[in-house]
Amino acid sequence: MDRIPWSIREGDVGELDAPEIMGGYRCAGEPRHGDFLVLPDGSGPWRVVDRMRVGQGDATENVLIVELFGD
C-alpha cells in the first residue's frame, strides 16, 4: 500500500484552509474521523476531526483537520 501524503491542519470541521502544522505527512493506511495521530516532531496526540482526500502519490490537496487532544 502506498503512503498517501497529507497536509495536517489544526482547526474545526469544515476548515480545510486552517493553518498547516505539517506538510507531507505520510502514514500507513488512511486516517479516519476520530483517529489519533502523534506527528514525527513528537507533538500530539491529535484527533482527526475532518478530512478531504483528493488523490494519491504526490497530491498536495489531501487534508487532515486535527485538534489537540488532552492537556
DSSP state of 35: -
**Structural domain boundaries in the chain:** 4-68
Q: Which residues contact 63 (CB under 8 A, 6 or more apart)?
A: 6, 7, 9, 16, 50, 51, 52
Residues 51-55 have a mean pLDDT of 85
Residue 30 predicted with pLDDT over 90: no
**What is the model's pLDDT at position 3?**
79
Residue 21 predicted with pLDDT over 70: yes
Residues 11-18 have a mean pLDDT of 94
Residue 36 predicted with pLDDT over 60: yes
Strands (E), 1-71: 4-10, 20-27, 36-37, 46-52, 63-68
pLDDT averaged over every residue in the chain: 88
pTM: predicted TM-score of the whole model, two decimal places: 0.86
